[in-house]
Structure 1
Amino acid sequence: MSVVTTDPVSGRIHSWDLSTGVDGPGTRFVLFVSGCPLRCLYCANPDTWHLRDGRPATVDEVMEEIDKYRDFITLAGGGVTLTGGEPLLQSAFTAAVLRRCKEDGLHTALDTSGFLGARASDELLADTDLVLLDIKSFDITTYRKLTGGELAPTLGFVTRLERLGKRVWIRYVLVPGWTDDEAAVDGLARFLSGLGCVERVDVLPFHKLGAAKYDALDVPFPLRDTPVPGPKLVGRVLRQFRGRGLVAH
């Protein structure tokens, strides 16, 4: 059972789900927090972009929902993952949920672009067992065009995670014509290989499963005509990461 406590901190959430092998180790309770400062061209969840589109929820309400699955996710070697959107956009709410999860003895993971890494306090990170860090591109110009943001905050954030000794899994979305440049991939692999905190790199092939959401929102899907990567391209990028001594999937 959850630790009996009352937490008045509230936030806005999109939804929650259960997943296995995608959002951290084991079976996870995945909380989708609303709001994101980036506008990634390949985003599969445009319905999480705006805070106003989420529903209000207190930390207590979130923990009540998590508690329904606590035994199951614990036995399955899992825990709780906060994702979005961008959970660090609501850093106080995210920190409070992570704190309560740790009080309950649950494994915690934070899925973030790192763009708002400066908002993650040391206390928040102390309650985070694993960081799932999405590095969109290692090329500064491509990163800006692809996301509308800057790469530097993310690199600064992962450097800070290295200093703190946090466990990190890198997520890299492979988009033909955008993130498949050999030199950029090798540059990222070389950078990551120098960080002891990086345990693995997950190469995630671009997909169009979120296209219907764009249609429902009457928002153009910028990469609708972009092809998904084939096995040959995926294999080449995996070999580039592995060639630098990284564990890549």
Structure 2
Amino acid sequence: MSTVQALEPGSRHELRVGISPDAPDEDKLKDEVGSFGYCHSYETSSRYDGPGLRLVLFVSGCLLRCTYCHNPDTWHLKDGTYVSVDQVLRRLGDFAPSIQALGGGLTISGGEPMVQRAFTQRIFAGAKKMGLHTAIQTSGFLGDRADDGYLSEIDLVLLDIKSSDPETYRRTTARDVAPTLRFAERLAAMSKPVWVRFTLVPGETDDPANVDGIARFVAPMKNVQWVEVQPFHQMGSFKWKAMGLEYKLENIQPPSRDLVNRVIEQFRAAGCRAR
């Protein structure tokens, strides 16, 4: 049984491992109550993860194994801190007036928030009661877990569509793309606001046909407010080494400005609002 600990402030770039060694595997978690959960850390001044100034809570647990992940220490619940939902909401309440005044809100990222569906739903519901805008950063792979009640607590979905090509998606994530695309179509059908995020990795996801496939899929969706091109970086490479993981992208450089512009223009040419 994991021991309840203090929720840690900090940064997504800090390495945190082995904090809750008795935690279940991320694919075996069974918790329909959500009173407790596993978190990596939280940040209080992000302008990157949704509109306005945001508190971003990084929860633990993810079923994807992206080759370019900059937070592999959020893959496993055992690496997170075991905290109560009441503790999270008390901490959020401390910042809520300032966040609200600056047009921001709460974003839950990860890891993958839907691994801990009941826990994150309770936090979203608490944030809504405080009058805060809510957003989720998700791969959409577990979108079938998000029932209408869960999605009703969320104002904005930051949806990572990592590839349109099934082979590329499986090679870079070790999972299938179909659940993500199915979730995107469901969000479009219910007119849920979405920002699509695409990580641009030279030699991995930058093929023009791959980009064009995402662009053509997303362009007709009226609920997609932005397509955000996120350049690959090496800021998390030290985590792979510290955790003894094989990091296959060690020699990959971030994309050039010309490549980033080419991809943004591909999205715009297809009719997407891209940046």
Partner secondary structure for residue 69 of structure 1:
helix
1:117 to 138, 143, 155: 143
**Contact 2:46/2:55 (<8 A) preserved:** no
1:75 to 91, 96, 101: 101
User: RMSD across aligned C-alpha pairs, in angstroms?
Assistant: 1.1
Please say if 1:213 is aligned against 2:206.
no
Please say if 1:163 is aligned against 2:189.
yes
Q: State the distance in 1 between where 2:72 and 2:66 align.
A: 9
Please say if 1:32 is aligned against 2:81.
no
Q: State the distance in 1 between where 2:213 and 2:164 align.
A: 7
Deviations 1:96-149 (A, max 9, x none): 111111111110000000000011111110010000000111110000000000
State the partner residue of 1:4. none
Deviations 1:145-200 (A, max 9, x none): 00000000000001110111100000100001111111111111111011111110
**Contact 2:112/2:138 (<8 A) preserved:** yes
State the partner residue of 1:108. 134
Letter in structure 1 aligned against 2:256: G
Normalised by the length of structure 2, the TM-score is 0.86
The worse-fitting range, judged by mean Cα deviation, of 82-91 and 66-75 is: 66-75
- Measure how far apart 1:215 and its partner are: 2.0
State the partner residue of 1:236. 262
Please say if 1:144 is aligned against 2:144.
no
Q: State the distance in 1 between where 2:45 and 2:171 align.
A: 31
**Contact 2:96/2:130 (<8 A) preserved:** no
The structure carrying a bigger helix percent of its residues is: 1
Q: State the distance in 1 between where 2:201 and 2:269 align.
A: 20
**Contact 1:13/1:32 (<8 A) preserved:** yes
Q: How many residues align?
A: 243
2:180 to 139, 148, 154: 154
1:204 to 194, 207, 230: 230
**Contact 1:81/1:108 (<8 A) preserved:** yes
**Contact 2:156/2:195 (<8 A) preserved:** yes
- Measure how far apart 1:8 and its partner are: 6.8
Segments of structure 2 that go 5 or more residues without pairing to the other structure are: 1-32
**Contact 2:65/2:173 (<8 A) preserved:** yes
Letter in structure 1 aligned against 2:160: D
Deviations 1:44-69 (A, max 9, x none): 00110101111111111001111111
Normalised by the length of structure 1, the TM-score is 0.95
Q: State the distance in 1 between where 2:270 and 2:132 align.
A: 33
Q: State the distance in 1 between where 2:216 and 2:84 align.
A: 42
State the partner residue of 1:3. none
Letter in structure 2 aligned against 1:209: M
Segments of structure 1 that go 5 or more residues without pairing to the other structure are: 1-6
